Chains A and B, each alone.
Chain A
Amino acid sequence: MMQEKVAPAPYASGTAPTLLALRGVGKVFSNGVTALSDVDLTIREGDFLSLLGPSGCGKSTALRLIAGLSTPTSGVLDWRGGGALDRSNIGFVFQEPTLLPWANVFDNVWLPLRLKGISRAKATPVVTEMLARVHLTGFEDAVPRELSGGMKMRVSIARAMVTKPRVLLMDEPFAALDEITRFKLNNDLLELWQDERFTVVFVTHSVFESVFLSNRVVLMAARPGRVFDELAIEASYPRDEAFRTSPDYAALCRQASDVLVKAINSTAGTHHDGH
């Protein structure tokens, strides 16, 4: 786990090698709706990149394209840095915890390894360690319905990370949680990211969340879904509760908000509250 990495630090992304480049990527659904149009985006090793935008801007579609759950109708996804990634190198966290309701916490986290043919005995140290990382030690035998929303999401994150993926894709993972729980999970996620140095693509519609977490915030606009602007969040890590109340953070949030408003107003047509 402590092997040497080429990237000097996970958040010095300006110098880090490119992991994935989206070039002219578009997605048109079979019903004729253009979900994404001409997206150019470079994701570097160790990035914590947020896709921020109003609903309908195609941020979830972009994530599904990166995950390979969907294919683009135009453009290419160019995986670099060690050849094409196979799916075992991608972890995905859905908006809902998406756990197997009949399986306990241990079995849920074991599942990705089990699907790769790794036995319970062999997986146990890895799963146990992963559960400790997300502060769920002692809950191995609980089934999902016995857990709170935040704990379920921790299980979901542990399951996504148990295969040690290079990229973690997260689709509004904390949107359904209360603020206190969300803050706690934000902190824990950042801690995990700094320790393990994986790359995160984080979809959110919360300005505050994206600024707190990321080193890059990519703002998207709707109709058609496209990249509108990008902000570098240059505050240093580790970021903790002190950062949350700092004037720097407030200023960055304001900056991001302003761009988001511009992105929303740029949408052709006047209504932007749904379809």
Chain B
Amino acid sequence: MTAIDERVLELDPEEARRVRQERFERIGRWVLPLAIMILAIWLWDRICVWNQIPQYILPRPGVVLWTLYNDAGLLFSSLLVTLRITFLSLALAVIGGVGLAVLFAQSKWVEMSFFPFAIVLQVTPIVAIFPLINIYVNDQTTKLLLCAWIVAFFPILSNTTLGLNSVDRNLRDMFKLNGATRWQQLRYLRLPAAMPYFLGGLKIAGGLSLIGAVVAEFVAGTTGQSSGLASRIIEAGYRLNAPRLFAALFLISLTGILIFLVLSLISHLILRRWHESALKQER
């Protein structure tokens, strides 16, 4: 029935126009931003040449790329250090955020009592907390982890809590009628229902854990003990090595984008069959 309808519609000139436009949009979605990006880089290069800006102020894009290649050993080993902190803190943020959300979901009272603490942790700038952490914690990795965790766990906690509390009332009644235990309700109803919210929080937390890791290194880096990308940036700054500074910056951005893309993909794969946000629009 619908198959026949669609075939008839395809002959329709209006529908044909729509299909053509869709194809344009599909190509444009990739080509347009790419073209703008290339144009911007070209302009950057030209500005350097036209104004004869010295390399230690603003290096040309080609030089940055060359530095990335030349200093690859140094930069990538630093990237690895930063990535380790990022992913460890993200993992801890997931465990801590979901764990606390589940705890909060057990009772309104627990949530009301402890949620303010989470907010306090969230709104206090991490740079301001770090000196305290520096006093209380000895181990360098632990310091950085704690910092990145504080920054990253809140969106997961807050989103998952919202998700756990957004279960359809009839579904809750249905579980009650079937004599579901608290644990069963959590396992089969509330956790799956919270999944889209959790994944939304995870996407934010992924970027934040990278930011947290870099900021923590920055603050800790002033004491000269760190070896992550942030310390490479500080070091390059002191030495007026702008090309390496740009190369390190480029690596951090690239990492952030990759983390976002991977988490978006994971989210899409999990939700694609049932959640509105992941469905293709078919009208």
If over half of B's interface residues share one DSSP class (helix, strand or loop), that class is named, otherwise mixed; here it is helix
Q: Check B176 for interface membership: any CB of A closer than 8 A.
A: yes
Q: Which residues of B sit under 8 angstroms from A92, Cβ to Cβ? A: 173-174, 177
B174 in contact with A98 (CB, 8 Å) = yes
| B188: contacting residue among A94, A96, A114, A116, CB under 8 A | A114
Which of B99-107, B178-186, B219-227 lies at the binding interface? B178-186
Compute how far the CA of A212 lies from the CA of B44 in the bound complex, rounded to whole angstroms: 78
Interface size on A, residues (CB 8 A): 24
Q: Check A135 for interface membership: any CB of B closer than 8 A.
A: no
Interchain nearest-CB distance for B213 vs A (Å): 33
Closest B residue to A96 by beta carbon equals B170
* Given known contacts A67-B177, A111-B178, A100 and B192 CB-to-CB distance under 8 angstroms: yes
Q: For residues 213 through 249 of chain B, which have their beta carbon under 8 Å from a beta carbon of chain A?
A: none
> Per-position contact with B for A127-156: 1 when CB-CB < 8 Å, else 0?
000000000000000011100000000000
Q: Check B189 for interface membership: any CB of A closer than 8 A.
A: yes
Q: Check B260 for interface membership: any CB of A closer than 8 A.
A: no
A143 in contact with B273 (CB, 8 Å) = yes
Q: Which residues of A sit under 8 angstroms from B184, Cβ to Cβ? A: 115
Compute how far the CA of A163 lies from the CA of B178 in the bound complex, rounded to whole angstroms: 9
A115 in contact with B168 (CB, 8 Å) = no
A144 in contact with B274 (CB, 8 Å) = yes
A98 in contact with B274 (CB, 8 Å) = no
Highest count of chain B CB atoms <10 Å: which of A86, A92, A103, A115: A115
Interchain nearest-CB distance for A66 vs B (Å): 11
Q: Check B195 for interface membership: any CB of A closer than 8 A.
A: yes
Q: Check B171 for interface membership: any CB of A closer than 8 A.
A: yes
Q: Check B175 for interface membership: any CB of A closer than 8 A.
A: yes
Highest count of chain A CB atoms <10 Å: which of B173, B178, B180, B189: B178
Q: Check A90 for interface membership: any CB of B closer than 8 A.
A: yes
> Per-position contact with A for B93-116: 1 when CB-CB < 8 Å, else 0?
000000000000000000000000
Interchain nearest-CB distance for B176 vs A (Å): 7
Compute how far the CA of A100 lies from the CA of B174 in the bound complex, rounded to whole angstroms: 11
Closest B residue to A86 by beta carbon equals B179
B173 in contact with A115 (CB, 8 Å) = no
Interface size on B, residues (CB 8 A): 20
A98 in contact with B195 (CB, 8 Å) = no
* Given known contacts A98-B168, A98-B171, A115-B184, A145 and B178 CB-to-CB distance under 8 angstroms: no
A111 in contact with B188 (CB, 8 Å) = yes
B173 in contact with A145 (CB, 8 Å) = no
Q: Which residues of A sit under 8 angstroms from B178, Cβ to Cβ? A: 87-88, 111-112, 115-116, 163
Q: Which residues of A sit under 8 angstroms from B46, Cβ to Cβ? A: none
| B174: contacting residue among A94, A102, A116, A145, CB under 8 A | A94
Interchain nearest-CB distance for A54 vs B (Å): 22
Closest A residue to B176 by beta carbon equals A69
Closest A residue to B270 by beta carbon equals A102
Q: For residues 47 through 104 of chain A, which have their beta carbon under 8 Å from a beta carbon of chain B?
A: 67-69, 86-88, 90, 92, 94, 96, 98, 100-103
Q: Which residues of A sit under 8 angstroms from B195, Cβ to Cβ? A: 102
Q: Which residues of A sit under 8 angstroms from B170, Cβ to Cβ? A: 94, 96, 98
Q: Which residues of B sit under 8 angstroms from A68, Cβ to Cβ? A: 177
Q: Which residues of B sit under 8 angstroms from A115, Cβ to Cβ? A: 175, 178-180, 184, 188
Q: Which residues of A sit under 8 angstroms from B18, Cβ to Cβ? A: none
Interchain nearest-CB distance for A2 vs B (Å): 26
Interchain nearest-CB distance for A253 vs B (Å): 30
Q: Check B20 for interface membership: any CB of A closer than 8 A.
A: no
Q: For residues 63 through 107 of chain B, which have their beta carbon under 8 Å from a beta carbon of chain A?
A: none
B174 in contact with A90 (CB, 8 Å) = no
Compute how far the CA of A67 lies from the CA of B173 in the bound complex, rounded to whole angstroms: 10
| B179: contacting residue among A67, A87, A101, CB under 8 A | A87
Q: For residues 155 through 206 of chain B, which have their beta carbon under 8 Å from a beta carbon of chain A?
A: 168, 170-171, 173-180, 184, 188-189, 192, 195
Q: Check B275 for interface membership: any CB of A closer than 8 A.
A: yes
Closest B residue to A98 by beta carbon equals B170
Interchain nearest-CB distance for A3 vs B (Å): 24
Highest count of chain A CB atoms <10 Å: which of B168, B188, B274, B279: B274
Apart from A88-B178, A100-B188: 5 A-B pairs, beta carbons within 8 A:
A102-B192, A102-B273, A115-B179, A116-B178, A145-B274
29 A–B contact pairs at CB < 8 A? A67-B177, A68-B177, A69-B176, A69-B177, A86-B179, A87-B177, A87-B178, A90-B177, A94-B170, A94-B174, A98-B170, A100-B188, A100-B189, A101-B274, A101-B275, A102-B195, A102-B273, A102-B274, A102-B275, A111-B178, A111-B188, A115-B179, A115-B180, A115-B184, A115-B188, A116-B178, A116-B179, A143-B273, A145-B274
Which B positions have Cβ atoms within 8 angstroms of A? 168, 170-171, 173-180, 184, 188-189, 192, 195, 273-275, 279
4 tightest A-B contacts by CB? A98-B170, A101-B274, A112-B178, A94-B170
